[in-house]
Amino acid sequence: MKQWLLILSSFLILCFSCKQDEKRARIVEDFNFNWQFQLGDFPKAVDSTFKSDDWRTLNLPHDWSIEGDFSEEHPAKPEGGALPTGVAWYRKTFKLSETNKNKIISIEFDGVYRKSEVWINGHYLGIRPNGYISFAYDLSDHLNFGNATNVIAVKVDNSEQPNSRWYSGSGIYRNVRLVTTEKLHVAHWGTYVTTPEISTEKGTVNLEVTLQNDSEIKKQFKLVSTILNAENLEVASVTSEGEIAKNSLAVNNQNFEVLNPNLWDTENPYLYKIVTKVFENDHLVDDYETPLGFRFFNFDAEKGFSLNGKPTKMRGVCLHHDNGALGAVANYEAIKRKLQIMKDMGVNAIRVSHNPSSLELLELCDDMGFIVQVEAFDVWKKKKVKADYNLYWDEWHEQDLKDFVKRDRNFPSVMMWSIGNEIREQFDSTGVSITKKLVNIVKSLDKTRPVTCALTENVPEKNFIYQSEALDLLGFNYKHADYDSFPKNFKGQKIIASESVSALETRGHYDLPSTEIKRWPPAHNQPFDGNDDLTVSAYDQVSAYWGATHEESWKAVKARDYIAGTFIWTGFDYIGEPIPYPYPARSSYFGIVDLAGFPKDVYYMYQSEWSKKDVLHIFPHWNWEAGQTVDVWAYYNNADEVELFLNGTSLGKKSKENDDLHVMWQVPFEAGTLKAVSRKNGTTVLEKEIHTAFEATKLELEPHKTTIKNDYYDLVYVAVNVLDEGNNLVPNADNLIEFEVSGGGKIVGVDNGYQASLEPFKANYRKAYNGKCLVIIQSNGKLENIELTAISNGLTSKSITINTSN
Ligand code: GAL
């Protein structure tokens, strides 16, 4: 009996340890916590003995620019967000157990802006000037184990300015991981998956696995790759065996068949994954995951784009990388919220402008169902601003472009490689050879997606990037008035509106009459006839001269099948590029949604056109001077008419005619209630009311979700509305609001979407702007419910509870 027990328990222990062993072959450690940070230059900080105890301790991702005060004098200038840049150092001290000896330990950085240099225990690991590129260093040869400590030091140099046409942020603003493997392991970005054939009956899959043997002896290996479906069930598996020489890389191809694959599309983004296990003498030494989606797509010179055989116009937006009040910090929840707001508008495609994105953005686009155009560069050899990436072009562009493709080529959402945005070389003959070279680099790593470039020159013989004949897909920025000439001038070419619109708006501000269209800049030498408070009308009536209003542009794209889709400049306002105004304007006016995430009215025009939801949106607010004639616009869909009533009296029914995208009434103002009713075949679809607001008396708090995870990362965005006694938003309220927070959260940002506000983003107060502001709460790791209170002089305070979970 005893003997039996012994055998049984040894067996159990064995199984248990096998399992543990299996689970823990590759250890990926979140390396974001407990860094020390100091602004300034500290060359001695590379030494392990350097004392940095008095530096600030913080968790990554971190952007020091967003913590600063605005000033026109900052070298990044208002175009770069008017925030400080400079040089700073980060250090992290850590220990490794003796069991890690003989392992391969690497550090992975998703992005450091800019020109990072990294040292481990005083040994120099390298420099990466490109602030958007992901990179890794092998630390193994320089580490200490047991009680001895290790120090990693990172210098970040964002002092060469200006180096960007928009806000870049400064610091280690994306995630950092420490990855431990055995000496035989899958190389960094070491898998590449393609799906050569897809039908509803069968999908074939090729997985290229690059193995790396860092030991001094050759090794025999077994590679087992298994495809799991979204329910985590195995649907195919392939085993291969081989030998790998010492200190070398070896590429293995594995081919699979999946019967009746679920296709990935933007409405049902069904994802599989491939788990690759590497065995050495039947001992698991590494495991690695690769995302997998079955989808096929095609660009056609006449019919545009199709996804899985279905004609699909890309209803896209361009997005810069900043996350408003969080600055450049790449936070999963912040990006998810941003994408969810876009999804709800009906967006199905994202152009990541104009640089490699965070990993989280692409993971979320896979999960949520967006078609993605990723983009490598905003400049090549010819600069746009003084200290642009052109300074590093010769030495770095090959490596950066390769790393960009290798990192992103497994995401099914990624369907286009853009090698540049409005590149200067399109205007001179050097454009031909550089384009050919870049396209070759991309194609050497991925032939399954078209290579494109966002162009502005639409005279074919003057565009040398086009003349290279190397592009698979022509991206044109703006030029909507010339679309009709494209099929003739670019015969047989596939075309997408890589960038469009560039309209300008401030949420909640309206200039009358709404029918007067303005362009910026106006005729030569004339000042922009703007507003003293640096606002731009939220009626869709102002755009940059190279662009168009939202309606002008969408009508042009919608009417032409050969335009595969459009990417509107931009989905969200972003920090920097505050056209049309000088400082104190410091963030852009181009967004369909403001910097705080509050939709401007035109959001609902797109929603009515792009989503399946029933939409009825009327604006502006209803607080005007008595007798003033006000243009009342309605965006609607799924109805034949809208009837408008003022204080119960009908102002008539209106229907969109031809290609109209809104209807309008000119209404002499009279305080009270404006009501709109949309009807289809006489049946009411939706009703909307706007009331004249009285004096502000109270606050309302609207969290975007009610539970936060206590993981130090999760965020809750709380919208703050200033209301009158009847719960109407007070449309011009600018009350100063203070926040108190207790329990499991802290304030990490405040905003109100006003492009010329000089209040800091990091504060526990914010003035409302046009009735609204925002406070962002982040988990502080405590498993305690969060109490948030908003207080404002003369208004009834408001508190809410946010639950915390683990
Ligand atoms: C485009 C450019 C964008 C942005 C935009 C503003 O020409 O590609 O990055 O600057 O203009 O309208």
Answer yes or no: is the C-beta of 421 below 6 A from any ligand 1 atom.
Answer: yes
Q: Token digits for 310?
A: 């279905």
At 95 the pLDDT is 98
Residue span of the structural domain in which 656 resides: 616-691
Global pTM reads 0.96
At 8 the pLDDT is 39
How far apart CA 50 and CA 52 sit, in angstroms, is 6
Note whether 163 and 230 are same-domain residues. no
Q: Residue range 451-466: average pLDDT?
A: 98
* pLDDT tens figures, 245-254: 999 999 999 9
Q: Do the Cβ atoms of 735 and 768 come closer than 8 Å?
A: yes
Answer yes or no: is the C-beta of 423 below 6 A from any ligand 1 atom.
Answer: no
Answer yes or no: is the C-beta of 286 below 6 A from any ligand 1 atom.
Answer: no
How far apart CA 304 and CA 306 sit, in angstroms, is 7
Q: Which residues contact 3 (CB under 8 A, 6 or more apart)?
A: none
Note whether 240 and 313 are same-domain residues. no
How far apart CA 736 and CA 752 sit, in angstroms, is 11
Note whether 143 and 38 are same-domain residues. yes
* Any domain includes 424: no
Last residue of a domain, one of 646, 676, 691: 691
At 2 the pLDDT is 41
* CB contact burial 726-757 (16+ within 10 A = b; e otherwise): eebbbbebbbebebebebbbbbbbbbbbbbbb
Residue 213: CATH number of its domain: 2.60.40.10
Answer yes or no: is the C-beta of 477 below 6 A from any ligand 1 atom.
Answer: yes
Note whether 188 and 59 are same-domain residues. no
Q: Residue range 603-630: average pLDDT?
A: 98
State which of 318, 353, 476, 577 you would mutate to test the pocket of ligand 1, scoring each by most atoms of that ligand within 8 A of its C-beta. 577
Share the mean pLDDT of the chain.
96
Ligand 1 atom 2 nearest Cα: 422
Answer yes or no: is the C-beta of 573 below 6 A from any ligand 1 atom.
Answer: no
Last residue of a domain, one of 112, 145, 179: 179
Last residue of a domain, one of 659, 691, 723: 691
Ligand 1 atom 4 nearest Cα: 569
Q: Which residues contact 373 (CB under 8 A, 6 or more apart)?
A: 316, 349, 350, 351, 352, 415, 416, 418, 452, 475, 498, 567
For residue 649, the Cα-to-chain-centroid distance in whole angstroms is: 46
What are the DSSP calls for 494-505, one per residue? -EEEEEEE-B--
* CB contact burial 204-232 (16+ within 10 A = b; e otherwise): bbebebbbbbbbeeebebbbbbbbbbeee
At 105 the pLDDT is 98
Residue 77: CATH number of its domain: 2.60.120.260
* pLDDT tens figures, 251-302: 999 999 999 999 999 999 999 999 999 999 999 999 999 999 999 999 999 9
Residue 683: burial class (beta carbons within 10 Å; 0-12, 13-18, 19+)? exposed
Residue 658 has pLDDT above 80, yes or no: yes
At 21 the pLDDT is 40
Task: Report DSSP state, residue 262.
Answer: P
At 23 the pLDDT is 56
Residue 74 has pLDDT above 90, yes or no: yes
* Any domain includes 439: no
Residue 5 has pLDDT above 60, yes or no: no
Q: Ligand 1 center to residue 418 CA distance, Å? A: 15
Residues in the chain: 806
Residue 91 has pLDDT above 60, yes or no: yes
Confidence class of residue 524 from pLDDT cuts 50, 70 and 90?
low
Note whether 132 and 214 are same-domain residues. no
Number of independent structural domains in the chain = 5
How far apart CA 284 and CA 739 sit, in angstroms, is 52
How far apart CA 477 and CA 797 sit, in angstroms, is 48
Q: Which helix (H) or strand (E) holds 554?
A: helix 550-558
Residue 6 has pLDDT above 50, yes or no: no
Confidence class of residue 17 from pLDDT cuts 50, 70 and 90?
very low
At 22 the pLDDT is 45
Q: Residue range 304-308: average pLDDT?
A: 98
Q: Do the Cβ atoms of 565 and 557 come closer than 8 Å?
A: yes
Known catalytic residue: 422?
Answer: yes
Ligand 1 atom 11 nearest Cα: 502
* Any domain includes 330: yes
Ligand 1 atom 12 nearest Cα: 502
Q: Residue range 498-527: average pLDDT?
A: 91
Please state the φ and ψ torsions of residue 568, each to the nearest 5 degrees. Answer: -75, 135
* Any domain includes 441: no
Q: Ligand 1 center to residue 597 CA distance, Å? A: 21
Q: Ligand 1 center to residue 544 CA distance, Å? A: 10
Q: Do the Cβ atoms of 720 and 777 come closer than 8 Å?
A: no
Q: Residue range 708-726: average pLDDT?
A: 98
* Any domain includes 464: no
* pLDDT tens figures, 22-33: 456 999 999 999
Note whether 151 and 217 are same-domain residues. no
Confidence class of residue 603 from pLDDT cuts 50, 70 and 90?
very high
CA-nearest of 446, 410, 451 to 299 is 451
Answer yes or no: is the C-beta of 299 below 6 A from any ligand 1 atom.
Answer: no
Note whether 341 and 202 are same-domain residues. no
Q: Residue range 382-398: average pLDDT?
A: 98
Q: Ligand 1 center to residue 454 CA distance, Å? A: 11
Note whether 681 and 787 are same-domain residues. no
* Any domain includes 792: yes
At 48 the pLDDT is 95
Confidence class of residue 444 from pLDDT cuts 50, 70 and 90?
very high
Task: Report DSSP state, residue 212.
Answer: E
Confidence class of residue 9 from pLDDT cuts 50, 70 and 90?
very low
* DSSP three-state, residue 286: strand
Q: Ligand 1 center to residue 752 CA distance, Å? A: 24
Choosing from 79, 117, 375, 422, the catalytic residue is 422
State which of 502, 579, 588 you would mutate to test the pocket of ligand 1, scoring each by most atoms of that ligand within 8 A of its C-beta. 502
* Any domain includes 585: no
Q: Ligand 1 center to residue 390 CA distance, Å? A: 18
Q: Residue range 665-694: average pLDDT?
A: 98
How far apart CA 54 and CA 49 sit, in angstroms, is 14
How far apart CA 779 and CA 784 sit, in angstroms, is 10
* Any domain includes 456: no
Note whether 399 and 273 are same-domain residues. no
Residue 334: CATH number of its domain: 3.20.20.80
Note whether 642 and 774 are same-domain residues. no
Q: Which helix (H) or strand (E) holds 289?
A: strand 283-292
Known catalytic residue: 670?
Answer: no
Residue 152: burial class (beta carbons within 10 Å; 0-12, 13-18, 19+)? buried
Note whether 263 and 312 are same-domain residues. no
The fraction of the chain above a pLDDT of 90, given in percent, is 96
* pLDDT tens figures, 188-237: 999 999 999 999 899 999 999 999 999 999 999 999 999 999 999 999 99
Q: Which residues contact 234 (CB under 8 A, 6 or more apart)?
A: 226, 227, 228
Answer yes or no: is the C-beta of 499 below 6 A from any ligand 1 atom.
Answer: yes
CA-nearest of 73, 72, 152, 54 to 112 is 152
* pLDDT tens figures, 752-784: 999 999 999 999 999 999 999 999 999 999 999
Note whether 786 and 687 are same-domain residues. no
How far apart CA 464 and CA 485 sit, in angstroms, is 19
